Amino acid sequence: MIIGVPKEVKDHESRVGVTPAGVKALVEAGHTVLVEHNAGVLSAMPDDEYQDAGAEIVGSAYDVWRLAEMVVKVKEPVEKEYRHFREGLVLFTYLHLAPLEDLTNALLEKKVTGIAYETVRDRAGALPLLTPMSEVAGRLSVQIGAEYLTKEHRGRGLLLGGVPGVPPASVCIIGGGIVGTNAAKIALGMGAKVTLIDLNLNRLRELDDIFNGRVFTMASNSYNIARAASEADLLIGGVLIPGAAAPKIVTRHMVEKMKRGAVIVDVAIDQGGCIETAHPTTHSDPSYEVNGVVHYCVTNMPAAVPNTSTLALTNATFPYVMKLAKLGAGAAIREDKGIAEGVNTYNGVLTYEAVAAAQKRDWKSVAELV
Ligand SMILES: NC(=O)c1ccc[n+]([C@@H]2O[C@H](COP(=O)([O-])OP(=O)(O)OC[C@H]3O[C@@H](n4cnc5c(N)ncnc54)[C@H](O)[C@@H]3O)[C@@H](O)[C@H]2O)c1
């Protein structure tokens, strides 16, 4: 199969869909990989590494899309990429179609097979291509929070771990899933006092075991959240209700009661945020203040560490790339239920129920079409 890897064009997106290691494995399996000039450069993967691995470097995005049978990307295509769509093309990338009607229409009109990272499922029913980015964002949230707590960044001027004779900072993490667990690991490692809040009591039991009692766990209710927020130096939002907008469980009133110079990192901002005063920000202008509380609400945090993020993402996506290349999309969809779950558009038909519900349109299961 001919696989195309274009350079990402979305604002501040610095990851790339396939690494030189992935190229080598694909080429060894008999496939051709076309990589756009400088596609990996922001992830510290220059053209010569791709070339050494067996890729053909192609000068323009236009040619990569035109010649490839399957395009592997990171972010959903932006408008200027729609013109590359054509019948029969397989597109494997994050798509996030629910709020993107124009992109959905373009994929359907051109009969592109759109396979979305975020809806591919593994045998356990989990979402394996979302997990690595939550791991990165969870760990990064504490690193960034610690930075914003410094005086330089208008924070309280606190060292997360304290020093002998001076107590550590209090970190409150709401949501004990992938983001929350990874945030807790790093916060504990840096010596902070960590409180984890979740709705799911069984999850809190697991976390209590995992962290051997070193993390304080609390059941999620507005009383506990208000109390924990008022005591927190760093508050991290990591709740998720799959397929729904994040609930605003930290209210404006709670933020008003927080300490001046405290820091909020709302990781859940990509689902609307779980903190009422949070609004989406970008890497070029990441933070703002409300009532003296610093807010950091960047929707694509992993792009800050593209080398780690590209490697983490492609570790997870690559086995699927290999399977799609080996079998072709049709056979891979028939054979692998998890890949079939990833198909959002197929031959001009919308094939993902949640996207159809969000856009109030008809859909069909891909199993009926392949
Ligand atoms: N900003 C970014 O760059 C970025 C990157 C990766 C992930 N995310 C987002 O981070 C969020 C968390 O992702 P995840 O992978 O950890 O999800 P997850 O499903 O692993 O964990 C979510 C947790 O939230 C808990 N929860 C749900 N409702 C709650 C409530 N009312 N109170 C307390 N806890 C509640 C759930 O029980 C679950 O344990 C998602 O919105 C995800 O999209 C953002």
**pLDDT tens-place string over residues 322-333:** 999 999 999 999
Taking the C-alpha atoms of residue 174 and residue 255, their distance in angstroms, rounded to an integer, is 14
Residue 177 Cα to ligand 1 middle (Å): 6
Residue 25 Cα to ligand 1 middle (Å): 33
Residue 238 Cα to ligand 1 middle (Å): 4
Q: Give the position, in ligand 1's atom list, of the atom nearest the Cα of 240.
A: 22
Taking the C-alpha atoms of residue 283 and residue 269, their distance in angstroms, rounded to an integer, is 14
Tell me, what's the pLDDT at 10? 86
Most distant CA pair in the chain, distance: 67
Tell me, what's the pLDDT at 290? 98
Tell me, what's the pLDDT at 275? 98
Query: Are the beta carbons of 192 and 234 closer than 8 angstroms?
Result: yes
Confidence of residue 243 (pLDDT cuts 50, 70, 90): low
Residue 103 exposure: Cα atoms within 13 Å on the Cβ side: 21
Taking the C-alpha atoms of residue 183 and residue 227, their distance in angstroms, rounded to an integer, is 20
Q: Is 306 helix (H, G, I), strand (E, B) or coil?
A: helix
Residue 17 exposure: Cα atoms within 13 Å on the Cβ side: 28
pLDDT tens readout for residues 77-105: 999 999 999 999 999 999 989 889 999 99
Tell me, what's the pLDDT at 246? 87
Tell me, what's the pLDDT at 6? 98
Taking the C-alpha atoms of residue 155 and residue 346, their distance in angstroms, rounded to an integer, is 49
Residue 368 CA to its chain's centroid (Å)? 30
Taking the C-alpha atoms of residue 256 and residue 203, their distance in angstroms, rounded to an integer, is 29
Q: Which helix (H) or strand (E) holds 287?
A: strand 287-290
Kindly report each contact of residues 211-220 with a partner whose C-beta sits within 8 Å and lies 24 or more positions away, as own/partner: 211/184, 214/188, 215/184, 215/188, 217/176, 220/174, 220/249
Neighbours of 144 (CB within 10 A): 23
Taking the C-alpha atoms of residue 109 and residue 97, their distance in angstroms, rounded to an integer, is 15
Lookup: tokens for 14:
């610095």
283 tagged catalytic: no
Residue 262 exposure: Cα atoms within 13 Å on the Cβ side: 23
Lookup: tokens for 216:
């304080």
Q: Give the position, in ligand 1's atom list, of the atom nearest the Cα of 133.
A: 6
Residue 180 Cα to ligand 1 middle (Å): 7
Q: Which of 96, 153, 208, 283 is catalytic?
A: 96
- Over its C-alpha atoms, the chain yields an Rg (Å, rounded) of 22
Taking CB atoms and a 6 Å cutoff, what residues make up the pocket around ligand 1?
133-134, 137, 174-180, 197-200, 203, 220, 238-241, 246-247, 249, 267-271, 299-302
The residue whose C-alpha atom lies closest to atom 11 belonging to ligand 1 is 268
Q: Give the position, in ligand 1's atom list, of the atom nearest the Cα of 301.
A: 3
Q: Which of 174, 218, 240 to mutate to test the pocket of ligand 1 (most atoms within 8 A of CB)?
A: 240
The residue whose C-alpha atom lies closest to atom 18 belonging to ligand 1 is 177
pLDDT tens readout for residues 148-198: 999 999 999 999 999 999 999 999 999 999 999 999 999 999 999 999 999
Domains, the chain, ordered by start: 2-128+306-368 (3.40.50.720), 131-304 (3.40.50.720)
Kindly state the average pLDDT of the residues 294-313: 95
In single-letter form, the type of residue at position 111 comes to: K
Q: Which of 198, 233, 266, 270 is catalytic?
A: 270
Kindly state the average pLDDT of the residues 306-317: 96
Kindly state the average pLDDT of the residues 213-232: 98
Residue 274 Cα to ligand 1 middle (Å): 9
122 tagged catalytic: no
Q: Is 62 helix (H, G, I), strand (E, B) or coil?
A: helix
Residue 273 Cα to ligand 1 middle (Å): 10
